Amino acid sequence: MTSILEQIKFDKTGDGLVPAMIQDVNTKDVLMLGFMNREALQKTLDTGKVTFWQRSRQKLWTKGETSGNVLKFVSLRINCNEDSLLVLAEPVGATCHTGHPTCYYREAEPSGEDWKTITEPQFDPDEVYKTAS
C-alpha cells in the first residue's frame, strides 16, 4: 500500500516543498498559506499540530511555538494535480503574526487604490513576540 506522502508532488518546484493552504474547519475562513516538506507533513500527522517548513530559516516550524496560537490538525485534502494541499484546522487564538485571526485580513477598496482592514487584531504582536534588546 502506498503512503499518501508518496503521492504528493513535493519536488515539482525543485525545492521539496508543497504549498499548504490552511482553512478554519468551522468558519471556512482561509487562515494562511504555508509550505510543507515530507517531514513537516509527517510531524503534522504525528502530533496533531500543523507544522511547516520555514523557508527563511530553513527549519521546521510548528505554528504557535512562540505565540501559543496553534493550529489543531483536523484533516488533509489534496488538489487534482497532487501538488498543493488544503489543511483543515481548528485555530487556537489568532493565526496571523500581526494578531489578526487570519493572514487575509485586508480587502481591496472598490476603487482598487488601497486596502482596508476587515478584522481586528486579537493580540498585540509587540507583546507576544518581544525580542531581547
Which residues line the annotated binding site for Zn(2+)? 80, 96, 103
Q: DSSP secondary-structure letter at 41?
A: H
- Per the annotation, binding residues are 80, 96, 103
Q: Are 67 and 51 in contact (CB under 8 A)?
A: no
The alpha carbon dihedral of 115, 121, 126, 131 has a sign of negative
Phi, psi of 17 (to 5 degrees): -115, 160
Q: For residue 4, which of 33, 34, 45 has the smallest C-alpha distance?
A: 45
Grid cell, residue 7, equals 503521492
